[in-house]
Every structure is written in C-alpha cells, then in structure tokens.
Structure 1
C-alpha cells in the first residue's frame, strides 16, 4: 500500500503531494529515519517468521524471498520517485 497509493488520502494538503506515494511522503522524504527503519524491518521479520513456521519449505521460501526483495528494493533511497515500467506515473 505504501508504494502504490498516490496523494495524501488522510490529510488535506491541497494537492501538494499528488505525485508522491505514501512511502515517499513519510518524514518528508528523508531516508533512514526511525519510522522508515521500522517499516523496513517489519517485512524482514515477517519473512523470517514465515520461513521458520513453514519449516524451511523450498517453494514457499522462494515465493517469500522474491516478495521480500520486491518490497525492500522499493524502499531503497535510489528508488525515491522512480516509477518502474511507468506504474503510478503522473502525467503533468
């Protein structure tokens, strides 16, 4: 949800953030803040828990690992305001 939703659905900003995703709006775009570190750690912890509770099943591990990579790559500082394949591109 953080990397997909554009604009500011929970506050009234008069269109200031229409071209940004929720992830890009967190802490005004500053990287490695406590909030962003927490929201990066959550998928990693969920991945480790799911791996453990599926008893290290290889197909399940592969699906979970690919999902984890997709989520973590989207959170990298170099991906700030980058739209892959034009997804969520704002026409201005």
Structure 2
C-alpha cells in the first residue's frame, strides 16, 4: 500500500532512525533493528542520504515479510523510508 507524498507527510512514525552518512548494509541493519523493536502495525521511518538504501531496505523487508513499505519521500538529498511492521 504505497501512500502519496502528501499522505506520508501526515504519518507520525513510532520510531525514527538516523541513517545519515551510513551506507549499505548498515542502513539496512539500522532499519531491521528498529523493526525488531516495533510491534505489528507500528511505523518505522529511516532517514538516509544513501540512495541505494531506497532499493535495498524495501526489497529486504518485503522478501522477508517483516514490513510493508508505505512509501519513500525524497527531499534535499535525503530520503525518508516509511515501513509498517507486519
């Protein structure tokens, strides 16, 4: 269920994690650690400046059925990846 940028702007994450300055696989590990703490239905948002993370994180959480990708917002060279724990 991908949400629009406008819809994502109203989402209040339960967990916000900072991946700025990190590269794969660490950006994925940051997201997975937060998702491990989250309860089903809770939202994890990772902020990163590593564009490849916008592909690897969604692919990994989908493949392992850990979370639903709500969407990705890109602004000013940073990406906010919204994940809903399954």
Could you tell me the TM-score, scaled by structure 1's length? 0.28
What is the TM-score of this pair, normalised by structure 2? 0.29
Larger-Rg structure: 1
Q: Which has the higher contact order (CA 8 A, sep 6+)?
A: 2
Query: Which structure has the highest strand share of the two?
Result: 2
